[in-house]
Amino acid sequence: MTRPSRTPAQDDLCSLRAIQVVDLLKRKDISPLDLVESSIKRIEAVDTGINALPMRRFEQAREEAKRISYDLEIQNPRSLHGLPIAVKDYNDVAGTPTTYGSPIFRDHIPKRSDATVQKLQNNGAIVMAKSNVPEWAGGNTFNPVYGATRNPWNLNLSVGGSSGGSSAALASGQVWLATGNDLGGSLRTPASFNGIVGLRPTPGLVPRAKRLHASDLLWVEGPMGRCVEDVALMLCAGAGHMPDDPLSFEGDGVLLSELLLKTTLPQRVAFSKDLGEVAIEPEIARICESSLQKLSAMGTEITGDIPDFRGVMEGFQTLRALLLAVMMQPIIEEHSDLIAPEIIDNIERGFKLDVHDIIKAEQIRAGIFHAMMAFFETHDFLICPAASVEPFPVEDRYVKEINGQTCKTYIDWFSITFLITMTACPTVCIPCGFTQSGLPVGIQIVGKPRGEAQLLSFARQFEESLGIYTRLPVQPNKLET
C-alpha cells in the first residue's frame, strides 16, 4: 500500500484511495468528520451534473462521525473506522428513503438498515448518501423519481446499471466505497462503464436483505471501489452471516492481510471475447484481448479452452423472469400502471412459465456449474469482457443492436455478464483500457467458488500491470450542448 507522504488537506482527501484514508484514520492523522466534510464538499461540487447521489444524509453522517470511537474501532480488524460510503437505493438505510427508483415507493422510509448495510455500519462505515438506480432493474440508470445519472467520463452517456449511481460516485471521487448488487451484471456493467472495480462475490459471502428470495443464488450484494485493494477492504467489512439471510456465512478467511500475502501469478487462464454466445463490438474485444499481453509477458499461459455456454442465456432469462415474478407479484397486482413497461413484460414472462421451462433452466444452471468445476481442474481463472459495448447515450433506454446484431430483449446487451452469473462463481471487474473516444473498458475475471482471496490477489497484480486506477477520480466532463 502506498501511503501519502504527508497528511493531506481536506480538499485532497477525496483523491486518495479508501485503503489510504483508513490508514490515516488508524494513525489518528485525520478524523471521520474530516472525511465527511471532504465528501460533502466534493458531492456539492460535482454531482449537479452527474446525479449519482440524489438522497443525501449529510447531517446524520456528521453526527455519526462524531460518535465513532477510535478505541473501539481499532480493536476490530474489519473496521472501516468511520469511512464514508454510498449505499445503493435497492438497500435500506434506517431513516432514509428507499425508492427502488419507483414512484410507488417515493415516500418509503425504512425504520432499520437491511442486513447488507447493517453489517457495514457495525464495522465502522458511515453512509453519506443513497445512490441512484434504474426503476427496479435494468442496465441504464434512470427513473421517474430522481431522473438519469450521467457518466463522469462524458456526461452525455450512460453509467450502465443498475449500480450506476454507486459507480459514478466512485469514479468522480464523491465517496471512497459504495455498495452494489448484481443479478445479471448490475454491478459489473457499471464498473466497466465508469472505470472502477466491482466484485460479484460467491452467493452468501455478503448478506442480503430479507425482502429478497431467501434461496435465490442469482442476486448477490457486492463491494465497489476505485481499486482492488479498496474492494478487498470493503469485503472484509461487509462479509459475514446475518440472520436475515439464511445463505450467508462468515467467510473468516477473507481478510485483507491474507489477500496481500498472496502474490503468485496464475499458471494458466482462459480468455474468450464472447464466451461463444454473445455479440460484442470489435473495439471492445480488441482492447480486452490486448490487455492480456502484459499477463502473458509475466509468464501466465493463456488459452481459449472455455466451458460450453450454449443454452445458458435462455436458462438465465427463464430464472430471472421467475425471480422477478416471485418478488414483484404483490406490487404489480396493485400498481402495474406505475411500473416501466419492460419490467412488466419480464415479470409477466415469469407468470407464463410452465414447469418444463423451469426444469430445463435448472438443468442448464447445474450443467454450467459442473462445467466450470471441470474447467478449474486445468485453469486458474476465466477472463472475458465485462460489457459488449462502450457507454451509450443516456437518453437511450437500452442497447438495441450490437455489431449489426439486433438485441431480442432489453437485457440481451449485457448477456456477457449474466452468462457468468449462472456459474455462481465470484467475479471481479477491473478496468483494462480505453476506447478511441476515451471511455473506460472493463474485463471480468472469474474465480473458483469461495476463492475471493485468490481472485482479488490476482486481480490486484493484473491491475498494477495496467496502471489505470491511478487516473481516478476524474473531473466530470462538461455536458455538451
Helices (H), 143-298: 164-171, 188-194, 228-238, 256-261, 282-297
| β-strand partners of 200 | 427
Query: Which DSSP category does 223 fall into?
Result: E
Q: Residue 88: what residue type? A: K
Q: Residue 350 burial (CB < 10 Å; 0-12/13-18/19+)? A: buried
DSSP state of 277: T
Task: Report yes or no: 17 and 226 within 8 Å, Cβ to Cβ.
Answer: yes
Task: Let me know: does 196 contact 213? Beta carbons within 8 Å.
Answer: no
CB-based contact 426:457 (threshold 8 Å): no
Structure-block grid coordinates of residue 374: 471441470
Task: From residue 143, give the alpha-carbon distance in Å to each of 122, 139, 274.
Answer: 31, 12, 30
Asked if 353 and 242 count as a contact pair (C-beta separation under 8 A), the reply is no
Closest CA to 278 of 434, 396, 389: 389
Alpha helices by DSSP H, 277-432:
282-297, 312-335, 341-352, 355-375, 415-421
In degrees and rounded to multiples of 5, residue 92 shows phi and psi of -90, 130
**Which residue, chain included where needed, has cell 438495441?**
400
Burial degree of 71 (CB within 10 A; 0-12, 13-18, 19+): exposed
Distance, in Å, from the CA atom of 118 to the CA atom of 468, rounded to the nearest integer, reads 32
Task: Single out the residue of 84, 80, 73, 78 nearest to residue 38, CA to CA.
Answer: 84
β-pairing verdict for 83-88 and 177-182: parallel
Give the active site residues: 88, 162, 186
Q: In angstroms, rounded to a whole number, what is the distance separating the alpha carbons of residues 180 and 167?
A: 8
